[in-house]
């Protein structure tokens, strides 16, 4: 997919405005940055582990598991050589267990194709199975201190609000254009601190559902805040309330209760298999009642589909005799 160059974007930040944003945010980060263990290392393997764990998972849940995982598999070679069942066992209950499989696949690919050294360029990092542009950029920047931009959910939201305005009624840039904007506003020589600062601001202040605009260091430079300033004649909290309403509009659909989702039952399958003696298989009909109390024969096609998905992701081993952890 072609990434538009910064010059192809319709939006061009004013140099003075950009300089102020750089100065304010970097100073804020220097004083307010979160103390996270993966920021105390430049080990590409440790950074890779943290980035995979942080996908769709909050920092406070990742912290203990990150330390536990690296204690169990301290090097890339240790992870590559481990049994998949052991990797899943250490990963649980972090969720999205396929990420554990993906991490081990990456480790084995690096051992086989890159002599055990995680690549340091985005192009080579993107050749690793399951590594997308954000993770590639994060490893290049945070492990190898390359001057590259990268865009995750927090960075997208912060950049959009600062430079483009409110996300509603629709984002003004697609993914490729947002990456181009991120590259355009990247301060020279400050990629590491800048990317970390954007993520910290998005995680702690410029959040999706409850933005703390009144305490944001970039309040005076933020286009989204400026767009809401028409409400400034009302009490001081009005702008914040309006921004909250914008965030709430984005969630205008009904979500399915988690305990009825396939993700929930996938997790129950893996958890139950972990309770079995090593190598023991269980037939699907016998498995069903353990993961769904009201299971009947009519649920067998659903369970088979669920198990097929787990097998495809490498999370279970399935034969005619039943399933077990790989």
51 noted as active-site residue: yes
**Same domain? 117 vs 81:** yes
DSSP state of 268: H
**Residue 175 pLDDT more than 60?**
yes
Which band of pLDDT confidence, cut at 50, 70 and 90, is reported for residue 3? very low
Greater pLDDT, 165 or 148: 148
Listing DSSP states for 59-79 in one string gives HHHHHHHHHHHHHHS-SHHHH
**Same domain? 54 vs 125:** yes
Listing DSSP states for 208-264 in one string gives SSS--GGG-TTGGG-HHHHHGGGGTTS-TTHHHHHHHHHHHHHT-SPPPPGGGSHHH
User: What is the reported pLDDT for 242?
Assistant: 57
User: What is the reported pLDDT for 234?
Assistant: 35
Euclidean distance between CA atoms 20 and 97, whole angstroms: 42
Would you say the pTM of this structure is higher than 0.85? no
Average of per-residue pLDDT values in the chain: 86
**Residue 106 pLDDT more than 80?**
yes
Assign residue 184 the CATH number of its domain. Answer: 1.10.1670.10
Torsion over CA: 237, 155, 175, 178 (sign): positive
Euclidean distance between CA atoms 319 and 314, whole angstroms: 13
DSSP state of 255: P
- Strand-pair partners of 203: none
**Same domain? 262 vs 244:** no
Cα atoms in the 13 Å half-sphere on the side-chain side of 245:
7
Here the tokens at position 27 are: 């100073």
Residue 110 lies in a domain: yes
| Low-confidence winner among 8-12, 25-29, 281-285, 308-312 (lowest mean pLDDT) | 8-12
Assign residue 301 the CATH number of its domain. Answer: 1.10.10
Domain that holds residue 89: 43-142
Euclidean distance between CA atoms 230 and 226, whole angstroms: 8
DSSP state of 282: B
Q: Tokens 């554990």, residue?
A: 100
| E runs forming strands in 83-165 | none
Domain count, the chain: 3
Distances in whole angstroms, Cα of residue 64 to Cα of each of 60, 71, 180: 8, 11, 35
Residue 188 lies in a domain: yes
Q: Of 250, 269, 294, which residue constitutes the final position of a domain? A: 250
Residue from 32, 51, 115, 248 carrying the catalytic annotation: 51
Residue 119 lies in a domain: yes
């Amino acid at each position: 997919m072609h990434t538009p160059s910064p010059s192809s974007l319709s939006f061009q930040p004013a140099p003075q405005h950009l300089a102020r944003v750089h100065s304010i945010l970097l100073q804020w980060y220097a004083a307010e940055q979160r103390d996270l263990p993966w920021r105390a290392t430049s080990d590409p393997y440790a950074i890779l582990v943290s980035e995979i764990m942080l996908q769709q998972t909050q920092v406070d849940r990742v912290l203990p598991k990150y330390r536990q995982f690296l204690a169990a598999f301290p090097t890339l070679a240790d992870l590559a050589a481990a049994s998949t069942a052991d990797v899943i066992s250490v990963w649980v209950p972090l969720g999205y267990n396929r990420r554990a499989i993906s991490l081990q696949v990456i480790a084995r690919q690096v051992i086989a194709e890159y002599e055990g050294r995680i690549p340091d360029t985005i192009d080579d990092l993107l050749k690793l199975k399951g590594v997308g542009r954000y993770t590639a950029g994060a490893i290049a920047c945070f492990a190898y201190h390359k001057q590259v931009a990268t865009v995750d959910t927090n960075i997208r939201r912060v950049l959009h609000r600062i430079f483009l305005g409110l996300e509603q009624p629709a984002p003004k840039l697609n993914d490729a254009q947002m990456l181009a904007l991120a590259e355009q506003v990247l301060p020279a020589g400050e990629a590491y601190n800048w990317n970390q600062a954007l993520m910290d601001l998005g995680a702690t202040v410029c959040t999706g559902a409850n933005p703390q605009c009144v305490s944001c260091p970039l309040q005076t430079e933020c286009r989204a805040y400026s767009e809401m300033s028409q409400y400034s004649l009302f009490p001081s909290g009005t702008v914040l309330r309006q921004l909250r309403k914008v965030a709430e509009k984005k969630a205008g659909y009904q979500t399915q209760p988690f305990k009825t989702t396939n993700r929930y039952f996938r997790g129950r399958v893996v958890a139950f298999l972990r309770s079995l003696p090593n190598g023991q298989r269980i037939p699907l009909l016998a498995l069903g009642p353990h993961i769904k109390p009201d299971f009947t024969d009519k649920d067998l096609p659903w369970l088979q589909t669920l198990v097929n998905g787990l097998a495809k992701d490498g999370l279970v081993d399935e034969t005619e005799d039943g399933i077990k952890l790989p």
